[in-house]
Each structure stands twice: as structure tokens, then as C-alpha cells.
Amino acid sequence: MRWPTNFILTGLAVADLLVMLDYIPFAIHNYFDPLSRLTASYFIYPWAVYMFFHALASQVCHFISCCLTLILAVWRYIAITHPQNNRVWCSAERTKLAIILTYIVCPIMCFPLYLSLRISSESRMVYDNGTLIQKKYIQQQNISYTNGYDNETIYYVNYTSGIYLKISFWVYGVVIKLFPCILLTILSKQLISALIAAQKRRYNLLSNKGVPMEKLNGKATATNQRLLEQEQQTDRTTRMLLAVLLLFLITEFPQAILGLLSATIGEKFDMECHRPLGN
């Protein structure tokens, strides 16, 4: 089981690495120089293209990570409940195929997200130093271009309107966020039950129930010892996986709830609540 597990963990690490690499320019641009968002130079077209890519790539790679986590949990559950068929059902070839299919199918399932975003442009008034003049201030002061202020074109990522936006909210809230959380919750419960059953089996091996006395110093005892060591190794790996799943659920369930609320309430909730909390 080591190689299949290592393959899944490698695929998981690659997906998470892509998320982090994609996030680095965003974090540097937004958090190291937050005042830049008040200037027109922040809203240039190349940055809008990157934000479009960032919004989609981060969701796709994160969805791949979620699916690989699900596969890892399923593989571990099979290893505990069906150890005799584990090497066949969870072979290295099938594991590689599952990883490749995950990297292919997940971007396809996120297709509605691609149609829900667009790069928009508009003309904005700026001060001499390039700082954007807020629209509320323009309306209050009745400022026009004849007052000597410059006019700049800014570019930003915006939602499309219509059915694509609604579908994207449901895909994000249910398919990408909520559905994996529900499946992982069920699998975690099953893994805990399997761990309890494995502890009972180990107790039976230690007490040698059902083993004839004349075999205690022979082949039967050696077999029990090997089975005991395998059970202990499996339990340690499963406990570590359960800890990972618990941390995953703690971070993902709030996002799933916010995503579901965005799908049911609409764009206004996403703009006023989901985005500020997400950032």
C-alpha cells in the first residue's frame, strides 16, 4: 500500500503547490502594498488577466486536491476493511489512473466557472498622482473632466450575468465545496469504525482466541505476530489520515456553507459577505 499512497500524496502535493505558487503574486501585490489598490496603475490589463487566471486556477487546483484527498481516504478504507483485496483493488496502476483522471475531470467539471467571469473595463477619473477618485466623491462634489482631472481606463475581473453565473455559484458551493465535505465526513466515520474493529481484531490476536495450545510456539504464533505488526502499521497511518481529514473539514465546511449561501441568495451575498470573509 506504500507506493499507491505515496503516488496519491505526490499528486496532492503537486496540486497544493500549484495553488500556493499561483497565490504568491496575488499575496505580494495585495498585502505588501495595499495602498496600490487605490491607484489606476493597479488595474492594468495584464494584472486583470492574471486575476482572471488566478480566480480559475486556484479553484481548479483546490478541487483536484479535494478529490485526491477523497481517493486517499477511500484507498485507506479499503486497506483496512479488505486487506486481502487491497493490492488488487488499489494497485499502483489503478492509483496512477485515478490520479490522471482526477487531473483531467476536475478542470472539466469547473467549466461553468470559466463562463461566469470576464474582464471588464471602464474610464475613471484620477488625481495628478494617479490615485482614483471615488465615485461617491465625484457625485457629491459634481466633479467633471473639465476640472482638470485626468481620465484613465482601468481593467478588472467581473461576473457575467445570467444563467452561467447562477450555475457557477451552485458548482462552487455544492460540487467543489459541500459535496467533498459530506463524502469526507462519511468516510471519516467509516474509518473510525474500521479502526475500532481493527483494535478488536488485534485484541483477539494478542489473546490467541481460537488457537490450539500446541500451536502457540509454532507457525500460528508467528503468523499472528506478522498480522499484529501489519495491523499496528495500518492503524498508525489511518490515525494520521484522520487528523488530516479533520483539519480539512474544519477549513472547508465554513467555505462550503458560504458557497451554498451564495448559490441560494445570489451575487449580492457573495460580494458583501463571502468575498470579505474569504479574503
Query: Can you spell out the DSSP letters for 35-76?
Result: GGGGBGGGG-HHHHHHHHHHHHHHHHHHHHHHHHHHHHHHHH
Distance CA 229, CA 217 (A): 18
pTM strictly above 0.75? yes
Please count the CA atoms within 13 angstroms of the CA of 65 that sit on its side-chain side.
Answer: 19
Among 103-107, 116-120, 202-206, 220-224, which stretch is predicted with the lowest mean pLDDT? 220-224
The set of residues, in sequence order, having a beta carbon less than 8 Å from that of 72 and lying 6+ positions away, is: 5, 8, 9, 12, 241
Among 157-161, 174-178, 220-224, which stretch is predicted with the lowest mean pLDDT? 220-224
Mean pLDDT of the chain: 80
Q: Scan for cell 490476536, then name that residue.
A: 205
Contact between residue 133 and residue 125 where contact means Cβ atoms under 8 Å apart = yes
Q: What is the pLDDT of residues 217-245, one digit of tens each?
A: 545 555 555 655 555 666 677 777 788 88
Q: What is the pLDDT of residues 14-72, one digit of tens each?
A: 999 999 999 999 888 888 877 777 888 888 999 999 999 999 999 999 999 999 999 98
Q: What is the pLDDT of residues 89-114, one digit of tens each?
A: 888 899 999 999 999 999 999 998 99
Domain coordinates in residue numbering, the chain: 1-109+117-159, 179-279
Q: Which residue has the higher pLDDT, 182 or 267?
A: 182
For residue 214, what pLDDT band results from cuts at 50, 70 and 90?
A: very low
Centroid of chain to Cα 45 = 28
* Nearest alpha carbon to residue 192 among 159, 158, 154, 238: 238
